[in-house]
Amino acid sequence: MINRLVTLTATLFAIIGLTAATAGTASAYQPVNIVHTEHVQAGPYSITVGFSEWPLRAMQSLDFTFIPDGGVEDKTGTLTEYQPNGKVRRAEPLSRHPRKRDVWGLDVRSLDQEGVWKFHFVIDGPQGRGEGDLADLQVLEQPGPPLGISWAISTLPLIGLIAFLVYAWRRNRRPAPVMQPA
């Protein structure tokens, strides 16, 4: 019994190791390709907002870049995202984009609802404080099937693997030895 358990454990570790060894590298170091831009006036500061996908769709991961005229070196700012229902989804300081370090940005972010979104910018810099909005940011419906169906379909291989392992374990179990009366 212990021998079979050791063999099963070694087999599982070998499968996990081979899967990890043959997996492709992450695309985290791909360049940021901006396909659409919008302009926002935040007081004395002009900001170019870039999108890596256009048109925007709900639940679609994309990159946002925020490029103030004159660069980000002497400026700080905050971004507040307003959902279509008017509620604040997130308010956060603007920070450098992880793959495009010379601008502010959001890496692999998605907007979770369809409708009209608003981004509110507050910029502090050498010319003082400025506020501005990117209003009427239209986000279309989520691409593909509904999220519940996608999750259900994606769990089928896991359920099949568990069923196979249970079947194999039950089939290969040794029956307990029967004690003969003396």
Q: Over 8-76, what HEC string results?
A: HHHHHHHHHHHHHHHCCCCCCCCCCCCCEEEEEEECCEEEEEEECCCCEECCCCEEEEEEECCCCCCCE
Find the range with the poorest average confidence among 41-45, 58-62, 124-128: 58-62
Provide mean pLDDT across the span 58-81.
94
Amino acid in the structure at residue 144: G
- Residue 64's pLDDT is 96
Report the percent of the chain where pLDDT is more than 70: 93
One-letter-per-residue 3-state SS of 107-161 = EEECCCCCEEEEEEEEEEECCEEEEEEEEEEEEECCCCCCHHHHHHHHHHHHHHH
CATH architecture, range 36-140: Sandwich (2.60)
Strand partners, 118: 82
Whole-model pTM: value is: 0.69
Q: Name the band, by pLDDT with cuts 50, 70 and 90, for residue 25.
A: low
Per-domain residue ranges of the chain? 36-140
Q: Name the band, by pLDDT with cuts 50, 70 and 90, for residue 143.
A: confident
C-alpha to C-alpha distance for 95 and 134, rounded to whole angstroms? 18
